[in-house]
Amino acid sequence: VPNLPIGQFYHVDVDDDFPYNVYGGMQDNGSWVGPGYVLKRGGIRNYDWQELYFGDGFDVAPRRDDNRYGYAMSQGGNVAMWDRETGRTESIQPQHPDGEKLRYSWNAALALDPNEDCGLYFGSQYVHHSTDCGQSWMMISPDLTTNDTIKQDQSKTGGLTLDITGAENHTTILCIAPSPHDSNVIWAGTDDGNLQVTKDGGESWTNLISLLPSCPKNAFIPQIEISKKNKGEVFVVVNNYRMNDWSAYLYHTKDNGATWRRIVNDNQVAGFVCSVVQDPVVEDLLFLGTDVGLYFSLDHGRNWHKWEKGLPPVQIRDMKIQETHDDLVLGTFGRSFWILDDIEPLRAMSRESMKSFMDKPFAVMTPNTAYKTEYRSYNGIRFIAQGEFVGDNRTSAALFTIWNKPDDKKEDTDSDDSKDDKKSKKSKKSKKKKSKKGSKKNEQADEKNESEDKGKDADDKKSKGPKKGEVRITCIDKQGDTLRTFSRKLKPGFNRVSWNPDTKGISYPSKNTPKEKREPGGMPILPGDYKMVFEYGDHKDSTNLTVALDPRIDPSIVDTEAKYNAMSDYNKSIKAATQAYDNLKKAKKSLSLYKKIIDVQEDSISKDYGKKHTAISGMIDSIMNLYMLPEPKKPQYQDDSNTLMTKIWGGRRFLGTSYGAPSPNGTHAINTAEREIKEMVTTVNTFFSEDWQPYVEDIKSLPMKIFEEYEPVEIKE
């Protein structure tokens, strides 16, 4: 609903722009950035916000050295690097070098390295660290969770109900907090009650959970806050409401974890704790995000006060203090982002005491810097009323305009006019059917012509010419090689045909067999000049197409040829996987024919070979299910993380989003996929040589009776 601020944000972050920006991930609705305030009329509007990454949004972190770039997450531990200017996202999810399955929380742990601009931490059951913006990763910890296997195989053992989005994961790392004071100190909290810390950069880890007084066992530890002022001071949030324990837990240490105290109790705070932040200026000023709203303490957690002004009792999932403007920025579950402008008054109260401060007859707080700025006009519409208009957008694909001269004869218009004329409807029934059919085809052609190429291009190479009503389009490079052939339907008059410039692709393993042969789209073609040839009926014409890099991108970081070569090499493996799968499909089809023949043989043959048929059919199904899972008989969750197609698409994702050759991290995913493809193809080949071929030879050796013999029928003379 565009006029109600009711978003649910898991995390919040801010930058130091002027005006500064607020970042966060919204439940079910992506990751976003927008201004904390605007220097224009009309206030902050929906027009000011930009989606950075889709999926269920969680943590969003801009790079400190250049906030054009940053990181965002979605469910299943997916994490990407985004570019605000171009909209490009690159998958950087850590991959295990040996293909081991990594467990990621629904709301996984993401943290910037405070000591390196391109440093990043991410959590599975391990702590992953990158120093090159996610291009490669090192695991700097062992499994920091309880690694309770009972909680890791829900589909077989019960436990948590599986969700198709992958939300219900357990024994994972929820938060990572690297120290801003010492690069060797890193904290981590898990969803099964472990509080881990390393003081030597990950060489050794210590679980401190037993030192937290009255801390419930196996509880969630969703946030760890390290003081910016004091080296050994740490705050740890614990909540256990998933076990019907609604108490407030917040723990505090001043000696780097040697001793702890619980600084929140149920007498002062009504709901469980979700987040905490300490003021970087006045260390006694703390803010507490709970299930029932915002609390603050002026005396380092000895007493807590509910903030009531302007903020309803919604869950406060995360908080940040924007230090330039002294603003408290909240990410809430129910009231979107909420900002408390200028917390200096609370600082003044904390410096003294609430009572002594409030006893003063008069007091003036130190204000923030006032900037002499000009306000510009609105973004979008000045008077938006209760709704917002979204205009049609220009396609980013290559767009061709084609003139198709209409016939000299006047087109039949009775189709529409006669809808209200029942008498004419009967007399022109046959004519109307043809006209309506043509009208519908033209409407469908319009839709296809206005859409981007998504694999619906017909392969016309084997035909003498394009099909009736279709234009065949061929892309030819400077060497005269045909890179792509596809078709589009045309209507009389002007036509707009769009196409994402790409080469002829390969087919991926698929259960479906298309009725019509299609040429799949493939890799993006390299920048350069190409000849485009158009054939329509007896007509033929051509034009040139120039393909260039996005001018907003620094060309020095782009290596299109390396990417093209890497994708070509990967396609060879995929092609082999597809051929092996297609062989299984053909064998399955042959089995159906064999069965019909065997079923009409003598009982001794049909029974014996019926069993062999069932056995060989089961072998084929079992191998095909390793590619992709069979469709369930009724809707249910299926864990397809170990199927070959998941691994293939995992590698393809890294190739598709890279600027050049795959990153070291992406290479792990590609190597894993290619290794499993090789094993799969070997399995298929072994099946055909050791199981299928003997079966076929047996069938061939049978004294099969295919045609019935018929005696002449006698009739009475």
DSSP per-residue codes, 554-585: -GGG--HHHHHHHHHHHHHHHHHHHHHHHHHH
Give the confidence band of 451 by pLDDT, cuts at 50, 70, 90: very low
Report whether pLDDT(18) > 70. yes
Half-sphere exposure of 454 (CA within 13 A, CB side): 6
- According to the model, what pLDDT value does residue 153 have? 76
In SS3 terms, 179-205 reads as CCCCCCCEEEEECCCCEEEECCCCCCC
Greatest Cα-to-Cα distance within the chain, rounded to the nearest angstrom: 134
Report whether pLDDT(415) > 60. no
Interval 128-136 mean pLDDT:
97
Report how far apart, in Å, the C-alpha atoms of 648 and of each of 102, 412, 654, 669 are: 17, 51, 10, 8
Residue among 320, 313, 337, 241 at smallest CA distance from 276: 320
| Phi, psi at 294, each rounded to 5° | -100, 135
Reported as a single tens digit per residue, the pLDDT across 283-338 is 999 999 999 999 999 999 999 999 988 899 999 999 999 999 999 999 999 999 99
The 10 Å Cβ neighbour count of residue 295 is 25
Give the confidence band of 487 by pLDDT, cuts at 50, 70, 90: very high
Give the confidence band of 414 by pLDDT, cuts at 50, 70, 90: very low
Reported as a single tens digit per residue, the pLDDT across 662-697 is 999 999 999 999 999 999 999 999 999 999 999 888
| One-letter amino acid for residue 241 of the chain | Y
Length of the chain counted residue by residue: 717
Give the confidence band of 430 by pLDDT, cuts at 50, 70, 90: very low
The rounded distance, in Å, linking the Cα atoms of 17 and 67 is 9
- According to the model, what pLDDT value does residue 566 have? 95
- According to the model, what pLDDT value does residue 385 have? 72
- According to the model, what pLDDT value does residue 162 have? 65
Q: How do beta strands 21-25 and 31-35 pair?
A: antiparallel
Do the Cβ atoms of 55 and 74 come closer than 8 Å? yes
Helix (H) / strand (E) containing 142: none
| Phi, psi at 220, each rounded to 5° | -80, 140
CA dihedral 74, 79, 85, 88 (to 10 degrees): -100
The rounded distance, in Å, linking the Cα atoms of 85 and 69 is 9
Share of the chain above pLDDT 90, in %: 62
Report whether pLDDT(421) > 50. no
Report whether pLDDT(25) > 50. yes
Tell me the pTM. Answer: 0.83
CA dihedral 41, 44, 45, 50 (to 10 degrees): 120
Mean pLDDT of the chain: 87
* Joined tokens for residue 595: 């069965």
According to DSSP, residue 654 is labeled: H
* Joined tokens for residue 260: 């702890």
The rounded distance, in Å, linking the Cα atoms of 317 and 340 is 15
Do the Cβ atoms of 629 and 509 come closer than 8 Å? no
The rounded distance, in Å, linking the Cα atoms of 602 and 593 is 17
390 vs 412: which has the higher pLDDT: 390
- According to the model, what pLDDT value does residue 649 have? 94
165 vs 71: which has the higher pLDDT: 71
- According to the model, what pLDDT value does residue 163 have? 67
Report whether pLDDT(477) > 50. yes
Whether omega for the bond prior to residue 180 falls within 30 degrees of 0, making it cis, is no
Question: Of 395-404, 516-525, 684-693, which one has max mean pLDDT?
Answer: 684-693
The three-class DSSP label of residue 8 is: strand
Give the confidence band of 413 by pLDDT, cuts at 50, 70, 90: very low
Give the confidence band of 699 by pLDDT, cuts at 50, 70, 90: confident
The rounded distance, in Å, linking the Cα atoms of 560 and 553 is 13
DSSP-assigned letters across all residues of 157-185: H-SSPP-TTS----S-EEEEEE-SS-TT-
Reported as a single tens digit per residue, the pLDDT across 593-602 is 887 877 777 7
Give the confidence band of 391 by pLDDT, cuts at 50, 70, 90: low
Contacts of 537 (CB under 8 A, 6+ apart): 465, 466, 468
- According to the model, what pLDDT value does residue 706 have? 64
Residue spans of alpha helices (H) in 410-546: 414-417, 422-427, 429-450
Reported as a single tens digit per residue, the pLDDT across 179-211 is 999 999 999 999 999 999 999 999 999 999 999
Reported as a single tens digit per residue, the pLDDT across 68-88 is 999 999 998 999 999 999 999
For residue 495, list its beta bridge partners: 402
Report whether pLDDT(712) > 90. no
Reported as a single tens digit per residue, the pLDDT across 209-222 is 999 999 999 999 99
Report whether pLDDT(646) > 90. yes
Report whether pLDDT(707) > 90. no
Give the confidence band of 368 by pLDDT, cuts at 50, 70, 90: confident
Do the Cβ atoms of 452 and 395 come closer than 8 Å? yes
* Joined tokens for residue 17: 């722009």
The rounded distance, in Å, linking the Cα atoms of 650 and 77 is 13
Report whether pLDDT(404) > 80. yes
Report whether pLDDT(589) > 60. yes
- According to the model, what pLDDT value does residue 388 have? 62
- According to the model, what pLDDT value does residue 255 have? 97
How would you classify residue 49: left for phi > 0, otherwise alpha for psi between -120 and 50, otherwise beta?
A: beta
Residue among 65, 61, 63, 64 at smallest CA distance from 111: 61
Range of weakest confidence among 155-169, 467-481, 550-564: 155-169
175 vs 160: which has the higher pLDDT: 175
Residue among 651, 675, 648, 649 at smallest CA distance from 663: 651
The rounded distance, in Å, linking the Cα atoms of 63 and 119 is 9
Report how far apart, in Å, the C-alpha atoms of 38 and of each of 1, 22, 335 are: 22, 12, 20
Interval 419-448 mean pLDDT:
40
Interval 458-468 mean pLDDT:
55
Share of the chain above pLDDT 70, in %: 88
Reported as a single tens digit per residue, the pLDDT across 217-253 is 999 999 999 999 999 999 999 999 999 999 999 999 9
The three-class DSSP label of residue 550 is: coil
The rounded distance, in Å, linking the Cα atoms of 249 and 276 is 11
363 vs 569: which has the higher pLDDT: 569
According to DSSP, residue 242 is labeled: G
For residue 677, list its beta bridge partners: none
The rounded distance, in Å, linking the Cα atoms of 295 and 328 is 12
The rounded distance, in Å, linking the Cα atoms of 601 and 596 is 9
Do the Cβ atoms of 111 and 121 come closer than 8 Å? yes
Report whether pLDDT(616) > 60. yes
Interval 701-712 mean pLDDT:
73
- According to the model, what pLDDT value does residue 708 have? 67
For residue 504, list its beta bridge partners: 521
